[in-house]
Amino acid sequence: MSLGAIKSGLPLAGVALRGCGSALPSQSLSNDQLSGRVDTSDEWIRSRTGIRRRRVLGAGEPLQGLAAAAGRAAIAHAGWSADSLDLVLVATSSPDDLFGMAPAVQAGIGADRAVAFDLTAACSGFLFALVTAAQYLRSGAMRRALVVGADQLSSWVDWDDRRTCVLFGDGAAAIAIEACEPEQDGLCGFRMRSDGRRGAVLQLPRQSGDEPLVAGARWQPGGFSPIHMNGQEVYKFAVRDVPALLRELLEETGTDAASVDWLVLHQANQRILDAVAERLGIPTDRALSNLAEYGNTSAATIPLMLDEAVRDGRIRSGHLIASAGFGAGLSWGAALMRWQGPGNVPA
Ligand code: ACO
């Protein structure tokens, strides 16, 4: 498929999901351990969120290393060489470098031919990045892309704020996608939304600073305040806007909810997962969940869940997956995908 094909009106390329991979910090922190730091309990956290433990990057474990390991696993799963990649797109809100972490991930993978850049959309980041990368493949501009979701929100929570610190964990996961014949298209549809008017309910805002610079000029020192969240408003947003968007997508693509094999939602809270599934009329046992082990790893949750379920054989080639990301911005997005990659083949 070439740009010439688009100009001549030939159908655009399809997008096939070919491989997945993930990488997690070795350090695991249980609810009981956290209750030694803040006034909380395993019972409170489990009953309100479904989370039992989370992984946290320790000293000497940079996020970019985790992201590169996830990327290497995904391209090995697809059976590709690193130099066949045209694009490495890293969804993250917590990069090791504010100028962008993707080039370091590209170098860590050895994807020397690929262009690499970051995309920031909080917990919608992976879904937005997947849709963005898919457009390069569809247009014929690129052939193979690696979409990585990686976040280290442990660096940005206030570990003394029990309302937020119990929710998040660190992780990285990736999906390898490539252009294919239009008839084999595995990205059946998508929808994306933003509403900056409601942004204040979930923020990791820049710290306001004001220092004298030289006579007659001042400057604003850099830095960020910890995550600030109105949990109840985020909850209401998630259980109202996310199923509405998924329903629109199912209608637009003529898809019956009964034909959806799996719901792979951003893993924020078990109660949100159950409520979204119920509102769509999808049995809750088809709404995949690994929150108990990892908490909310932000941009990593969707590919992390997908990777786990592909490798343990729940998601099989040909299965239809309805996915949705949602979070700060506010931002939310949904995609309908058909998995075409291998299952648990040795890397
Ligand atoms: N342990 C014990 N008590 C707690 C804790 C805790 N970890 N956190 C809050 N509480 C207390 C509060 O202080 C409050 O006590 P009070 O009544 O004495 O003041 C009480 O529990 C109830 O607090 P609420 O905030 O009303 O609790 P709620 O039932 O709403 O549950 C929760 C809070 C779990 C955060 C819920 O609102 C939620 O899941 N919201 C969605 C959050 C989310 O998913 N955020 C991530 C979005 S994705 C992204 O983009 C990053």
Q: Is 3-184's fold the same as 187-210+223-338's?
A: yes
Q: Tell me the percentage of the chain whose pLDDT exceeds 70.
A: 95
At 346 the pLDDT is 45
For 292-314, the pLDDT digits (tens) are: 999 999 999 999 999 999 999 99
At 12 the pLDDT is 86
Going from the Cα of 75 to the center of ligand 1, the distance in angstroms, rounded, reads 38
Q: How many of the other CB atoms lie within 10 Å of CB of 231?
A: 15
Q: Do 262 and 315 form a contact (C-beta atoms < 8 A)? A: yes
Q: Which of 232, 240, 274, 298 is the pocket-test mutation for ligand 1 (most atoms within 8 Å of CB)?
A: 232
For 193-227, the pLDDT digits (tens) are: 999 999 999 999 999 889 999 999 999 999 999 99
User: Given a cut of 90, is residue 180 above it in pLDDT?
Assistant: yes
CATH fold for the domain made of 3-184? Peroxisomal Thiolase; Chain A, domain 1 (3.40.47)
At 149 the pLDDT is 98
CATH homologous superfamily of 187-210+223-338 equals: Thiolase/Chalcone synthase (3.40.47.10)
- Report the atom number in ligand 1 closest to the C-alpha of 48: 34
Q: Do 66 and 25 form a contact (C-beta atoms < 8 A)? A: yes
| Look-up of token digits 């599934």 | 277
User: Given a cut of 70, is residue 9 above it in pLDDT?
Assistant: no
Could you write out the DSSP letters of every residue in 183-249?
A: GG--EEEEEEEE-GGGGGGEE-PBPP--EEEETTEEE----BPPPEE-HHHHHHHHHHHHHHHHHHH
Residues marked active site are found at: 123, 266, 296
What are the residue ranges spanned by the domains of the chain?
3-184, 187-210+223-338
For 54-102, the pLDDT digits (tens) are: 999 999 999 999 999 999 999 999 999 999 999 999 999 999 999 999 9
**Which residues line the pocket of ligand 1, CB cutoff 6 A?**
40, 44-45, 48-49, 122-123, 162-163, 166-167, 202, 229, 231-232, 234-235, 268-269, 296, 298, 327-328
Q: Which of 45, 230, 269 is the pocket-test mutation for ligand 1 (most atoms within 8 Å of CB)?
A: 269
At 6 the pLDDT is 46
Q: Which residue's CA lies nearest to atom 15 of ligand 1?
A: 163
At 14 the pLDDT is 95
Mean pLDDT of the chain: 94
